[in-house]
């Protein structure tokens, strides 16, 4: 590629250093009889958490543990090590908090009835939009809610609000949809059944079923396109954070300006990252529009202690970044000039994704108008 367009970055990390599921480390949530819903409990080094009352339109849980909340919130103040040099919080930091909230609520729900104990593993992250930058000193409020369950999966929708603690002003910064499946603690290769939820309106279940069928079709298309399978994984938050960091390096090298994550296309997990593996995360720019850049990020696992298993693809995703001026306004980005046939093919595929998403946003805007 010409014009400074060949931008790649890689990050190696042993998977053994990744932490356990955040739900096991979080402090206890206050019960409604002990504290008001807005009370925040803090513990050194841990995320601040508080239980939220269930919205009237939310799906409710059925079974012996029906009192288990179907919505939770994780809160944390953003610190300097969460952000880039311009003070904007890394998209990977937000992605990690989103996944932690989803893992906590889905694991709680999957264990809400008597039966085999399990842990909810992330199977897929739908497109995640970064609507507004978050800055150092602001408080992130990550709200997760169970919106649909199938026989073996849980849909969790997550909204992230940023709060300026000086003025009290809040704004929506992120929206995401995640799918989890329950894996047995006795055998993590065994998928268990999900306790059903009771919907307040029949339309909720029908809309949820449509979303389930749509993401199932997309997973099948990914399988057909890549020739591999999509598997649920445990504790993917650290990997997702590193993927965003690598994409950010590629974008920053290309623009030489302040860059922020604009969106993340569906993150697909192709295989589990096994203990003792070294993961290599690489990124390459695939497409540029006038004011955005698409970076493909690949995660490969190398089982260095096992000579019988070859290096394999563990995860992949497309990140979209935008360039910002010192005043926070979007800037034009240098155009990518593909040269080889593979580069031209990836560029046209990225252009197709860009135009498809642009048309979708325009359709949504017309519908709301």
What CA–CA distance (Å, rounded) separates 164 from 162?
7
Beta bridge partners of residue 160, listed in sequence order: 142, 174
129 counts as catalytic: no
Q: Which residues on neighbouring strands pair with residue 158, listed in sequence order?
A: 144, 176
Cα 256 to Cα 101: distance, rounded to the nearest angstrom: 34
Spell out the residues 6+ positions from residue 269 whose beta carbon is closer than 8 angstroms to its own: 122, 123, 124, 230, 231, 232, 233, 236, 314, 315
> Would you call 294 helix, strand, or coil by DSSP?
strand
Q: Which two tokens stand for residue 64?
A: 């012996």
Task: Look up 302 and say whether it is catalytic.
Answer: no
User: Which position among 84, 228, 271, 302 bears the catalytic label?
Assistant: 84
Which of 97, 99, 174 shows the shortest CA–CA distance to 131? 174
Measured in degrees and rounded to the nearest 5, phi and psi for residue 63 equal 110, -175
Burial 59-85 (b: 16+ CB within 10 A, else e): bebeeeeeebbbbbbbbbebeeebbee
- Which residue is associated with the tokens 């958490």? 49
Spell out a b/e string for 144-173, using b for 16 or more CB atoms within 10 Å of the CB, else e.
bbbbbbbeebbbbbbbbbbbeeeeeeeeeb
Q: Which of 48, 82, 244, 265 is catalytic?
A: 244
**In the numeric block, which tokens belong to residue 253?**
């090298």
Cβ burial 329-355 (10 Å sphere, 16+ → b, else e): eeeebeebebeeeebeebbebbeeebe
d(CA 70, CA 361) in angstroms, rounded, equals: 29
Token reading at 223: 């399988």
Residues noted as catalytic: 84, 244
């Amino acid at each position: 590629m010409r014009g400074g367009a060949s931008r790649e970055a890689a990050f190696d990390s042993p998977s053994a250093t990744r932490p356990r599921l955040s739900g096991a480390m979080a402090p206890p949530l206050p019960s409604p009889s002990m504290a008001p819903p807005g009370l925040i409990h803090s513990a050194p080094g841990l995320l601040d958490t508080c239980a939220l009352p269930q919205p009237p339109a939310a799906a409710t849980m059925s079974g012996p543990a029906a009192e288990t909340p179907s919505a939770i919130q994780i809160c944390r103040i953003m610190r300097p090590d969460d952000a880039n040099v311009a003070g904007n919080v890394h998209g990977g930091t937000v992605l990690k908090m989103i996944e932690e909230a989803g893992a906590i609520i889905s694991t709680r729900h999957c264990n809400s009835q008597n039966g085999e104990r399990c842990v909810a593993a992330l199977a897929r992250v739908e497109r995640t939009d970064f609507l507004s930058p978050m800055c150092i000193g602001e408080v992130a409020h990550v709200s997760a809610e169970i919106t649909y369950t199938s026989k073996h999966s849980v849909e969790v929708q997550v909204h992230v609000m940023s709060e300026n603690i000086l003025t009290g002003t809040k704004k929506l910064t992120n929206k995401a949809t995640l799918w989890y499946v329950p894996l047995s603690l006795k055998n993590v290769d065994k998928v268990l059944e999900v306790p059903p939820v009771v919907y307040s309106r029949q339309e909720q279940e029908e809309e949820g079923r449509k979303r389930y069928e749509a993401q199932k079709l997309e997973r099948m298309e990914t399988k057909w396109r890549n020739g591999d399978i999509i598997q649920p994984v445990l504790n993917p938050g650290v990997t997702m954070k590193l993927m965003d960091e690598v994409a950010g390096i590629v974008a920053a090298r290309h623009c030489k300006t302040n860059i922020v994550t604009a969106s993340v296309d569906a993150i697909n997990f192709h295989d589990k990252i096994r203990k003792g593996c070294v993961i290599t995360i690489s990124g390459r720019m695939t497409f540029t529009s006038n004011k955005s850049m698409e970076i493909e990020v690949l995660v490969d696992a190398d089982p260095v202690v096992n000579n019988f298993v070859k290096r394999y693809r563990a995860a992949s995703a497309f990140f979209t970044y935008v360039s910002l001026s010192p005043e926070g306004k979007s800037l034009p980005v240098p155009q990518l000039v593909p040269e080889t046939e593979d580069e031209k093919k990836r560029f046209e595929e990225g252009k197709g994704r860009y135009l498809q998403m642009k048309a979708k946003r325009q359709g949504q805007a017309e519908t709301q108008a």
